[in-house]
Amino acid sequence: MRRAVAVRLSALLAAGALTAATGVALSTTTASAAAGGVTGYATQNGGTTGGAGGQTVRATTGTAIHQALCSRASSSTPITIQVEGTINHGNTAKVSGSSCNTAAGVIELKQISNVTIVGVGNGAVFDQLGIHIRESRNIIIQNVTVRNVKKSGSPTSNGGDAIGMESGVRNVWVDHVTLEASGGESEGYDGLFDMKDNTQYVTLSYSILRNSGRGGLIGSSESDTSNGYVTFHHNLYENIDSRAPLLRGGIAHMYNNHYKRLNESGINSRAGARAKVDNNYFEDSKDVLGTFYTDAAGYWQVSGNVFDNVTWSSRSGDHNPAGPNPTSNTSVSIPYGFTLDGANCVPNVVAQTAGAGKGLKVSDGSCTPQSPDPTDPGPTDPGEPTDPGPTDPPAGTNLSLGAGADGSSKASGTSYGNVVDGNTGTYWSPSGSTGSVSVKWGSATTVSKVNIRLAFGSGTIGAYRLLNHDTGAVLASGSGAGTVSFSPASLKKITLEITNASGTPRIAEFETYAS
């Protein structure tokens, strides 16, 4: 049995013992996320739903990914892009269009929103080619591998980051990915997961970061402190020299991560940053927490961590490790719900769940990995490419925008108005599995088509009726979400009545059209 050089923290929290208070940001989260659903800071600021409710397409080249983005009706039209195969410089070209801003030799998610990229089938590998997210919001990247992306100036380069975000990015969830390099900066590699220039509300979960000089950073310099609200949980950092991550300003929450062979330093909190570090397992590593390579101090709140064969350097100059007996020097309030696995079981749980190709398995808070909920739109291989055309937005004006809304009892934290606000990141849910929501106008309006969009993590609508609320007439009935047409009706109020469902439906938008 390995003997720890540093003192183990003895007050390990029992699995599931801590549940943080519910937040008061733009959306309210439940005490714990559904298995496989978005977690952490990406649930805040309206939530992160990616391409939920939109068209699903298949891509086997980088050019096809760009083409899918450029073929949308607008830069915010939701889309899920299922990726299979190897994406590289040879098959990634620039594609032009009014709904995209792409570039050759990199997957460019620039000035867009409401996009999911998910690996399916035999898997998706981005080889020597990274993913850029610029001036964008509501993005999900799931179940992919990104490897050996080199720095600017090399023959195979996208600026050096496996996944990089900058310039006003909001609400990104990166989940079950594998990010890896084959060396450090001297070999031409840079960061695996970087956030710069006002990037906020990001979660990295159930992922592997390995074999790199730099794990990632939040803030490109001591003056770039507009980033933050980032959650890292159930990730494996293995054979990383430093930046696991580097945090400049802002707030980050690290829980239930397994850090193995951090060779020079680990969580580097500096320039006023505050890190909440809960129930992580640090193993065979050096200086895993502190303020390093600067005299601009950062801060941390620690609880329940295990330090297994961790060595600590002496404090001197700009090198200030938190150990050998780390104690909190700040407090951090977390606005979302979360449940902790006990730190002792973290290596085992992370080994079974983290990275691409693990079936999106997650932890249930009691050290037992489980598969995602069946209602989650996970990246299972659908066989043939899926193209649910009816969920594409119909042509014409969405008459619901600016209209009123009401309905039956709603679930806590939801609003009737969320179905008419044009934002797929917000939603209404009934208080149970069935209920109704209505769109209403001050004067008679002719409607002949509706489009129902579900939010990410929604239950399935088993049966519904569309009613002319003025007369009680049934305009249409069916199951699921998407677009339905019916004979034109002049009415002041139209009602979606959900009569059967699996799970709790989340209605993101109740769109109405004249034709």
Smallest CA-to-CA distance from 311 within 2, 1, 5 is with 5
Tokens for 363?
A: 């932890």
Smallest CA-to-CA distance from 204 within 248, 160, 244 is with 244
For residue 450, the cross-strand partners are 484, 512
Instruction: From the candidates 58, 147, 214, 243, give the one annotated as an active-site residue.
Output: 243
- Exposure class string for 501-512: b at 16+ Cβ within 10 A, else e: bebbbbbbbbbb
Question: Going by C-beta distance under 8 Å and a sequence separation of 6 or more, which residues neighbour residue 136?
Answer: 109, 110, 111, 112, 113, 115, 169, 170
Instruction: Compute the distance between CA of residue 311 and CA of residue 202 in angstroms, rounded to an integer.
Output: 30
Is 409:435 a contact under the CB 8 Å cutoff? yes
Tokens for 9?
A: 């923290």
Q: Specify burial of residue 42 (Cβ count, 10 A radius: 0-12, 13-18, 19+).
A: buried
What's the Rg (C-alpha) of the chain?
24
Q: How many residues does the chain have?
A: 515
Smallest CA-to-CA distance from 87 within 4, 13, 15, 162 is with 162
What residue ranges in 111-186 does DSSP mark as E strands? 113-127, 131-134, 137-142, 144-147, 163-166, 170-175, 178-183
Q: What count of Cα atoms within 13 Å lies in the side-chain half-sphere of residue 233? A: 26
| Residue 453 is among the residues annotated as catalytic for this protein | no
Give catalytic residues, as residue numbers.
Answer: 243
